[in-house]
């Protein structure tokens, strides 16, 4: 095993040992973002519910779907996307956002990726509470399936690995950061977030069948609505995480020492 590869694994191990630090820092950064706000992080949940209502209204009006039936699916899809897709859009700024800390403190590169994942998990939990509260009010609450916990853990693992894959080239080439916003916007519309695979023309369902993000969204949406995810969603998600892991470790081994000089 080569020395850069050993250093990459050591970087990951050091960041794991610093879990109390990035956990606390993530909570502080989330709280400071909503300083002097009464609702705090729940403003993100309000945005989720408003957007979900608008999209559910559109889906119901254009596709003839009952709004009462479609709303839980749309909200659950957007909630899943907030963890799967939105964190991809924000990953490009992982190192740029923490440039000051990286230039003043010697911390593992993986530390900042874990910090990003921790904030994503905190945001997801906040929105999840709002989702359950809204479903109770509407009388559409369904007890989450037990697979929700392993599904969230698997998606967070994917977020960590994908963080390296996006953040490292985005730090070196700033055009990548601008490009990611357009890429994520495109992925949002071709991923079954506020619509389902069954509503798509059979001719184009392969777009969903071969989309890793679509399977990750469904991996979260199914247990959120009280159902077990399909085996194909687990297989695709596990395969995606494995592929992301190989690419992320390779990038970490090759460019670990250079990232701070690109800031």
- pLDDT tens profile 206-256: 888 888 899 999 999 999 998 999 999 999 999 999 999 999 999 999 888
d(CA 178, CA 151): 30
Q: Say if pTM beats, i.e. exceeds, 0.85.
A: yes
pLDDT digits (tens, 9 = 90+) for 125-161: 888 888 888 888 778 888 899 999 999 999 999 999 9
Could you give the CA distance from residue 46 to residue 48 in angstroms, rounded to a whole number? 5
**Quick one: 218 exposed, middle or buried, by C-beta within 10 A (0-12, 13-18, 19+)?**
buried
Residue 167 in tokens? 């953040």
pLDDT confidence tier of residue 1, bands split at 50, 70 and 90: very low
Cβ atoms within 10 Å of 197's Cβ, excluding its own: 13
Residues whose CB falls within 8 Å of the CB of residue 69, separated by 6 or more in sequence, listed in order: none
Cα(217)–Cα(237) distance, integer angstroms: 10
């Amino acid at each position: 095993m080569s020395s850069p590869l050993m250093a990459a694994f050591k970087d990951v191990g050091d960041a794991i040992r610093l879990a109390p630090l990035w956990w606390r820092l993530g909570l502080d950064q989330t709280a400071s973002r909503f300083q002097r706000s009464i609702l705090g992080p729940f403003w993100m949940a309000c945005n989720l519910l408003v957007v979900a209502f608008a999209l559910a209204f559109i889906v119901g009006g254009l596709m003839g779907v009952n709004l009462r039936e479609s709303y839980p699916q749309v909200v659950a899809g957007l909630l899943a996307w907030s963890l799967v897709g939105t964190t991809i859009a924000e990953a490009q700024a992982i190192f740029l956002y923490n440039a000051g800390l990286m230039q003043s403190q010697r911390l593992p590169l993986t530390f900042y990726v874990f910090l990003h994942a921790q904030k994503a998990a905190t945001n997801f939990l906040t929105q999840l509470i709002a989702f359950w509260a809204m479903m109770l009010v509407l009388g559409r609450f369904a007890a989450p399936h037990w697979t929700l916990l392993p599904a969230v853990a698997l998606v967070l693992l994917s977020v960590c690995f994908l963080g390296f894959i996006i953040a490292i080239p985005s730090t070196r080439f700033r055009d990548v950061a601008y490009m990611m916003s357009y890429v994520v916007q495109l992925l949002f519309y071709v991923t079954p977030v506020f619509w389902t695979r069954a509503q798509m023309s059979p001719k184009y369902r392969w777009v969903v069948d071969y989309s890793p993000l679509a399977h990750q969204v469904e991996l979260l949406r199914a247990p959120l609505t009280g159902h077990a995810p399909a085996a194909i969603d687990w297989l695709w998600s596990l395969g995606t995480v494995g592929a992301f892991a190989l690419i992320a470790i390779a990038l970490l081994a090759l460019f670990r020492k250079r990232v701070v000089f690109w800031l």
